[in-house]
Amino acid sequence: MNRPRLAIAGLTACSGCQLMLLNCEGELPEIVERFEIVHFPMGESGSDPLDRYDVAIVEGAVSTPKDHQTLFRLRNASRTLIALGTCALFGGVAAMNNGTWDRGEALREVYGEGAGEIDSFRPAALGSFVTVDFAVTGCPPEKSEILELLSALLAGTLPPLPSYPVCLECRSRENLCLLLERDDLCLGPVTRGGCNARCPATGIACEGCRGPVEEANVAQELELLLERRFSKEEIVRRMSRFKAEWDYGQRR
């Protein structure tokens, strides 16, 4: 049986999502045995960026012409393209100031006098440019989710996505509700589960790093937080940290 040909690449991001794959130390020998990793710049040298792939797994947002070129090449060269992580799926931290900062101003703030030499545009998710066949969210994704993805690919399918919020995992762990019982700015009700409520379980309010759960009642979340005397500006700022655009008037 031919091994699936795999490409793993990163665009504008911290590389943490790719690193999570490399952190699967115990499973790496089997992964290498079952997949032909053709292109993986972070993990190996000498790979061929002009090859053909069964699957391309891409981390990061698109914010430069080089990102754009790389993404189109991978899309054209692969049968299945998968967005890995919150930046690839929603724009993530890279896009958090898209609605508040002029791009030129942001570049000057970061690069100073060298800003004029940086060719970039507002960061955006992969789906803004190409068709994405599947996505694994998270900042970074859970190790178990990456392994489930690879296992499903070997079987010629894709794994199911969590369709419940972080709140459900909090309840199953019998955590204190940080939003209702401690009046914290917690985004658990509108954030996609799958992390086993790791942060709330340690007393840290959910930051929303996994992006929105399907059919999130954003308007009710906003109302609950306003009742707890958080300002609209603070709420929007927090919610924009990993996904820049929300529909705050949405009710379901």
pTM for this model (two decimals): 0.92
Domains and CATH numbers, the chain: 5-154 (3.40.50.700), 166-239 (no CATH)
Residues constituting the chain: 252
**Can you give the pLDDT at residue 251?**
47
Q: How many angstroms separate the CA atoms of 240 and 225, rounded?
A: 15
- Residue 99 has what pLDDT? 80
Q: Which stretches in the chain have pLDDT values below 70?
A: 1, 45-50, 250-252
Q: If you search the block for the tokens 């709140």, which residue do you land on? A: 167
Strands 134-136 vs 53-59: parallel, antiparallel or unpaired: unpaired
Quote the pLDDT of residue 2. 84
**Degrees (nearest 5) of the Cα angle 206, 212, 216?**
105
- Please tell me the predicted confidence (pLDDT) of residue 252: 46
How would you list the strands of the sheet with 78-84, edge to edge?
A: 36-39, 5-10, 53-59, 78-84, 134-136
- Distances from the Cα of 231 to the Cα of 98, 107, 225, 235, angstroms: 20, 28, 8, 6
Q: How far apart are CA 75 and CA 188, in angstroms?
A: 33
pLDDT of residue 103: 85
